[in-house]
Structure 1
Amino acid sequence: MSNDQLKQPALTVKNISKSFGGIQALKNVSFNINKGEVVALLGDNGAGKSTLVRCVSGIHPPDSGEILVNGTSARIDSPQDARDLGIETVFQDLAVIPEFDITANLFLNREVLSKNPLLRLFGWLDDKSMQATASRSLQRLNSRIPNLGEAINKLSGGQRQAVAIARAVNSGADVVIMDEPTAALGVEQSAQVNDLIKLISSQGVAVLLISHNMQHVMETCDRAVVLLRGESIADVRINEVSPRDLVGFITGAQRLSA
């Protein structure tokens, strides 16, 4: 992908506002993520991060503002609308079924039916096709998972994240939103997940990363957008700030117009 293509916005939020009763969770939040860019979404608890993600992923409709996907204004009324537009969200609980194997989880609610018309009529699945696609998806991520038939509950935390990321990328996502992907992982597994994020961004996928881990943000992200009490107060390049600066923005000790 050329540099010019990478500079094109994959996701733009413009003046997004959202209230719940008398509480304003978001107020005129605006930023964009370019193709192949990793942007951290930072903020203390209650800053509005989860609400913004739910607006973009189709769980909550914003009260006002606009969301653009690949430069085109989009209406996102449901999670399926978001997925159809190429926006995938990997939530902290990963939304996997622990007893199912890797292939079944990769195609959860997106199963491929048999090409045989009669078998298709009875809902038979094309297991070979799904296994081949699953294998390619995990190879694309340089995954260390040896057996696609392994149940998710037998995998490490890092491997489970790899499956969740592969599911998002496998669906052809242009934008992947990740909610605290390393929160419950050790140092080595966190490093593996960071490598996966860098890999998919190098392939042109835009990543919005919610994290409280400043070290991982500094190592993985290109930019950071900081929310404070529902407002965007900073949009900075990571190579131009320190972890202390980011903490200052998060706590409100520092402020920079987004």
Structure 2
Amino acid sequence: MTTTIETQPAETVPEDGKPVVELKATGKSYGNIRALHGVSLSVHPGKVTCVLGDNGAGKSTLIKIISGLHQHTEGGLLVDGRPVHFSTPREALDAGIATVYQDLAVVPLMPVWRNFFLGSEMTKGPWPLRRLDIETMKKTADEELRNMGIVLDDLEQPIGTLSGGQRQCVAIARAVYFGARVLILDEPTAALGVKQSGVVLKYIAMARDRGLGVIFITHNPHHAYMVGDHFSVLRLGTLELSASRDEVSLEELTNHMAGGAELAALKHELAQVSGVDTEELPEEGDVTTPAATAPDGSA
């Protein structure tokens, strides 16, 4: 007898446009250090929410709160409209929240199909003689990868032999198969070239089209703007910008990411330093912040 793993369809989402995951004035403190403060964010099914910020902006803390690694110390975290406090990442997974970290949590020397089911292997046979159902796992992995548009000639090849973009795509397909409703992607294009980054962005769009809510963590505004529906820019643990795609241009998003407001304030002083071209820097009145979006998605 073959034991199969039941998955939840991506269509299992809240009705009437309500967000799957919601942060309301959420914050996290480590002793006297406040890593995150007053952050509100909504993740809707079939939408890509891009969270941008420089190193130390609070992106990692945000991921850890939503994925169950850390608990928030202020504000609230809601899933399907209900307040939650995840104690472990397994609780977040059970709620349909899957996180793909930069290291991808794969075993490089294991085959692709083995990594696809790592920790959730299919088995067959009576106890105590149960054994891995290798044939079914290979077939299922191949079908799921093809459903995401990923065609690999040999699923027996070690996953470490795939390109960085291909490994990211396998991790995305794995999360989709195991019932993720919200997919958190931690800097998936950070270490990739232009072509491989494009491949990953394509699969992010495909995951969105399958009804998943995607949280795309990145420091690259150009990558974010290609697939994003809503943009949140973090700076020093607080939310500097929260705007939908039709409220902000790529240039404005880039300015916020580059610290445009600070550069504008320093433009006069920088102009007095030899060798610094200030012509392209924004004026203080040029860097505007679109109306912040409320946690429920209204303006």
TM-score normalised per structure 1: 0.92
1:117 to 121, 126, 129: 126
1:128 to 128, 131, 135: 135
- The C-alpha deviation readout for 1:61-100, integer Å capped at 9, x for no partner, is 1112222222233231111111111001010111111000
Change (3 A) 1:6 1:178: farther
- The C-alpha deviation readout for 1:207-251, integer Å capped at 9, x for no partner, is 000111221111111110111221112211123322331233332
| Larger CA deviation: 39-48 vs 225-234 | 225-234
- The C-alpha deviation readout for 1:130-177, integer Å capped at 9, x for no partner, is 122211210111003222111111111111111111111111100000
2:232 corresponds in structure 1 to 225
Letter of the 1:216 partner, please give it. H
Q: Distance in 2 between matches of 1:122 and 1:183?
A: 44
Letter of the 2:250 partner, please give it. P
Preserved CA contact (<8 Å) 1:11 1:68 = yes
Preserved CA contact (<8 Å) 1:6 1:36 = no
Query: Is the aligned partner of 1:199 residue 2:209?
Result: no
Preserved CA contact (<8 Å) 1:59 1:77 = yes
Letter of the 1:113 partner, please give it. T
2:78 corresponds in structure 1 to 68
Higher Cα radius of gyration: 2
2:29 corresponds in structure 1 to 19
Unaligned runs of 5+ in 2: 1-10, 262-286, 294-299
Preserved CA contact (<8 Å) 2:52 2:220 = no
Give runs of aligned pairs for residues 133-212 of structure 1, distance below 5 A.
Answer: 133-212=140-219
Change (3 A) 1:172 1:155: same
Shift of 1:18: 0.5
| Larger CA deviation: 248-257 vs 178-187 | 248-257
Secondary structure of 1:108's counterpart equals coil
Letter of the 1:61 partner, please give it. Q
Shift of 1:6: 8.1
Secondary structure of 1:60's counterpart equals coil
Q: Between Structure 1 and Structure 2, which shows a larger proportion of helix residues?
A: 1
Preserved CA contact (<8 Å) 1:228 1:252 = no
Letter of the 1:165 partner, please give it. I
Query: Is the aligned partner of 1:46 residue 2:56?
Result: yes
- The C-alpha deviation readout for 1:81-122, integer Å capped at 9, x for no partner, is 1111100101011111100011111111111221x223xx34
2:253 to 218, 227, 246: 246
Secondary structure of 1:144's counterpart equals coil
Change (3 A) 1:122 1:74: farther
Letter of the 1:139 partner, please give it. R
Letter of the 2:204 partner, please give it. I
Secondary structure of 2:132's counterpart equals coil
Secondary structure of 2:225's counterpart equals helix
2:116 to 106, 109, 123: 106
What is the root-mean-square deviation in Å for CA atoms of aligned residues? 1.8
Q: Distance in 2 between matches of 1:66 and 1:74?
A: 8
Preserved CA contact (<8 Å) 1:145 1:159 = no
Q: Distance in 1 between matches of 2:16 and 2:106?
A: 31
Q: Distance in 1 between matches of 2:62 and 2:95?
A: 17
Preserved CA contact (<8 Å) 2:52 2:221 = no
1:237 corresponds in structure 2 to 244
